[in-house]
């Protein structure tokens, strides 16, 4: 019966081509913006709570950029350095004639004051050197860590090519670069070499320097850790490759991949603190959930995990409520600072007490 009704309506609409064309455009518009519409309807009350618990460091318009997000964070001489890739305009606005701006923009360095405002220094890094010259590329997701006294940057390098005649991402490689010359130079080092098969799209490799060794945490499932064997060629060798319980395999019960979020940091004498995330595909779009994990410094294996997500993407700033991505963490006295990208346009920081994190841990 419903099929007959639909056929009848289509036949009637076909008699009025202009009306049919207008309705098709309206349906396309609603389909395109359904996530934004649904997100705005279900954003509260998480959004209100989030506004009070987090602080904006950079937003659209900072240093005249349309977007700054997914920052790296590093403590340098008692100050907090933020490094993020900016975009001339947000990637989701680069359609049609604006496609020439797709992923265009420079890295930005921000030095924060005691209240985590970028008032001490704001700098656009223009000296970007050593990158491949035979491909069109863009920098994304600029995490940071110390290695041999150098300010290292582990980041994604998006390779851009034509798909259906339009510039788009054809692959993503995990890269290492270094920040030099008093925040003036962003110099590419290499694509690290690993002894396992890699995919065409590789993200979320995280690093930790410990006892003159450099560790690369490659995947959560299996939990794979590699150690730098050849510094000259940045070759890493697997030292741990182990499957874990369902808790770490699928903490949210979403059936989606679990990935590393931020470079591990020293939590106490026994543990490193790292953050992992998992995506739930809601009607409003991707929603990120993050868990805290304590990794033994002795065995390099995860031993404890927060019983519930320490962050939900719901309530994030930006066009959709689920895009709050924790990309860097720092320990400051008795607090952990969580630096995030929100809505692919904002950089924010949220503080949590160390005691709060400890009290929510359960054994794996």
Name the burial class of residue 315, with classes exposed (0-12), middle (13-18) and buried (19+) by CB atoms within 10 angstroms of its CB. Answer: buried
pLDDT digits (tens, 9 = 90+) for 2-21: 566 655 555 665 666 666 56
User: What integer pLDDT is reported at residue 282 of this predicted model?
Assistant: 82
Whether the pLDDT of residue 30 is over 60: the answer is: no
pLDDT digits (tens, 9 = 90+) for 95-135: 888 999 999 999 999 999 777 766 567 899 999 999 999 88
Other Cβ atoms less than 10 A from the Cβ of 337: the count is 19
Q: What is the domain partition of the chain in residue ranges?
A: 35-363
Please state whether 193 falls in left (phi above 0), alpha (psi between -120 and 50) or beta: beta
pLDDT digits (tens, 9 = 90+) for 226-250: 999 999 999 999 999 998 877 899 9
Distance CA 60, CA 12 (A): 47
As a whole number, mean pLDDT of residues 205-227 equals: 96
Both tokens of 247, joined, read 């808790």
Whether the pLDDT of residue 338 is over 70: the answer is: yes
Confidence class of residue 325 from pLDDT cuts 50, 70 and 90?
very high
Both tokens of 124, joined, read 């656009």
Distance CA 125, CA 318 (A): 25
Distance CA 175, CA 159 (A): 12
User: What integer pLDDT is reported at residue 41 of this predicted model?
Assistant: 66
User: What integer pLDDT is reported at residue 1 of this predicted model?
Assistant: 54
User: What integer pLDDT is reported at residue 4 of this predicted model?
Assistant: 60
CATH architecture of structural domain 35-363? 5 Propeller (2.115)
pLDDT digits (tens, 9 = 90+) for 36-79: 666 666 666 677 778 788 999 999 999 999 999 999 999 998 88
User: What integer pLDDT is reported at residue 247 of this predicted model?
Assistant: 86
Whether the pLDDT of residue 149 is over 90: the answer is: yes
User: What integer pLDDT is reported at residue 228 of this predicted model?
Assistant: 97
User: What integer pLDDT is reported at residue 244 of this predicted model?
Assistant: 80
User: What integer pLDDT is reported at residue 38 of this predicted model?
Assistant: 64
């Amino acid at each position: 019966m419903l099929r007959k009704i639909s056929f009848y309506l289509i036949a009637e609409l076909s008699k009025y081509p202009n009306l049919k064309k207008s309705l098709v455009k309206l349906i396309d518009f609603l389909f395109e913006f359904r996530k934004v519409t649904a997100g705005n309807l279900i954003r509260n009350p998480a959004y209100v709570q989030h506004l009070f618990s987090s602080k904006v460091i950079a937003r659209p318009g900072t240093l005249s950029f349309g977007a700054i997000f997914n920052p790296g964070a590093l403590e340098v001489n008692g100050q907090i350095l933020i490094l993020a890739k900016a975009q001339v305009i947000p990637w989701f606005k680069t359609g049609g004639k604006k496609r020439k701006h797709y992923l265009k923009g420079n890295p930005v360095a921000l030095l924060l004051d005691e209240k985590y405002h970028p008032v001490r220094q704001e700098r656009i890094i223009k000296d970007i050197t050593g990158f491949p010259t035979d491909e069109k590329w863009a920098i994304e997701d600029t995490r940071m860590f110390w290695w041999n006294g150098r300010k290292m940057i582990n980041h994604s390098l998006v390779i851009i090519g034509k798909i259906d005649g339009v510039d788009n991402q054809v692959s993503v490689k995990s890269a290492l670069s270094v920040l030099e010359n008093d925040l003036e130079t962003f110099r590419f080092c290499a694509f690290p070499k690993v002894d396992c098969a890699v995919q065409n799209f590789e993200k979320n490799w995280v690093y930790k320097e410990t006892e003159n060794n450099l560790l690369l945490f490659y995947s959560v499932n299996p939990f794979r850790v590699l150690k730098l064997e050849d510094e000259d060629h940045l070759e890493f060798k697997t030292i741990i490759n182990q499957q874990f319980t369902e808790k770490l395999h699928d903490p949210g019960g979403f059936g989606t991949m679990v990935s590393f979020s931020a470079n591990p940091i020293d939590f106490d004498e026994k543990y490193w603190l790292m953050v992992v995330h998992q995506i739930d595909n809601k009607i409003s779009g991707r929603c990120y959930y993050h868990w805290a994990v304590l990794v033994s410094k002795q065995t390099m294996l995860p031993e404890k995990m927060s019983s519930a997500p320490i962050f939900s993407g719901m309530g994030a700033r930006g066009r959709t409520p689920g895009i709050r991505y924790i990309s860097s963490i720092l320990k400051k006295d008795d607090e952990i600072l969580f630096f995030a990208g929100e809505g692919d346009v904002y950089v924010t920081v949220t503080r949590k007490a160390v005691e709060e994190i400890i009290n929510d841990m359960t054994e794996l």
